[in-house]
A and B are shown apart, each in its own frame.
Chain A
């Protein structure tokens, strides 16, 4: 099978990689780059466990061919969790007991990060949080602690209460 060499940036680092034309972005991230935070859940774009950012937008990495990302900026949970916004979300998720098995957690944090980044300085309402996170399924905790965590993280960021 024909392999392509493509250039893109993952977590701010330029990468040139060769892979088959139909390699999924998720497989490239997990198996070639060893970034295993993004999870394969459903593989059909329903659960959001594989959410990463491509050019700042949340996408299901299981429904994107890696080749489509030639020239794009990819951000994964590994880097997002280290950012100020990401750290605030992670801390609040832990505080709110919004994690049990943890499989959905990276995807939820990536989507919540995209939400907070899309409206800096604002605290999203419940309807906005629900709409943003509708594509991230959690089968353990239910969504109330997750919503609390996203709201608290936004409040902390707005008030400047971040480390």
Chain B
């Protein structure tokens, strides 16, 4: 089981994801609603895994991912996006993201990705 930090400017999206993760037995390290606080929370909480929304104001998911990877090259980050953002996904993987999930969330896919990361 993993301790997971959720970074997403949408409360709806965070809640949906938390429900899936908690029901599967994972714990929530914390929630951040923008990239800047997300990076700070990563440094403080040192979660096992981060879920990172791509489209956020001020500091988007790509920017926050870069900062987290610079701070901790072993960070495990799953990017979260709507469909149609393939170029952003490719960029995120090149920066160091482990995988990505698209909205609307498919619980089986999310949990399978987390299991793969934990192995």
Instruction: Decide whether A and B are members of one complex.
Output: no
- B interface with A by C-beta (< 8 Å): none
